[in-house]
Amino acid sequence: MSAPPDHHAAPVLRVAHADLAPYHDQRWARVCPTCREGLLLARRDLTLLILAEDLCTRCGQRVCYTDVARLREADGPGPEPDGIESGDFELP
């Protein structure tokens, strides 16, 4: 396997967490949209708040989640959301 690409110096990518491919059954981990092999693990600050900025574990691509408010809401204290928002799906 060749050395991973290095995207540490690449511009921050603005993406919606919801648009990224989930990694197996991980709740927050997403596959890096740049190298498609590394992971974005949804980092947290000292108060466990999910950070808007994240970093690929493999290529170092930085991303900024445009929907971080929604992540924090889904992650935060309080009841789990029990419904799926309508409009997210299209039936075949």
Q: By CB under 5 A, name the binding residues for Zn ion.
A: 32, 34-35, 38, 56, 58-59, 61
CB 33 within 8 A of CB 17: no
Q: Nearer to Zn ion by C-beta: 58 or 72?
A: 58
Q: CB 72 → Zn ion: shortest distance, Å? A: 23
Q: CB 77 → Zn ion: shortest distance, Å? A: 31
Place of tokens 């993406």: 15
Q: CB 74 → Zn ion: shortest distance, Å? A: 24
The burial class, CB within 10 Å (0-12 / 13-18 / 19+), for 47 is exposed
Q: Nearer to Zn ion by C-beta: 30 or 61?
A: 61
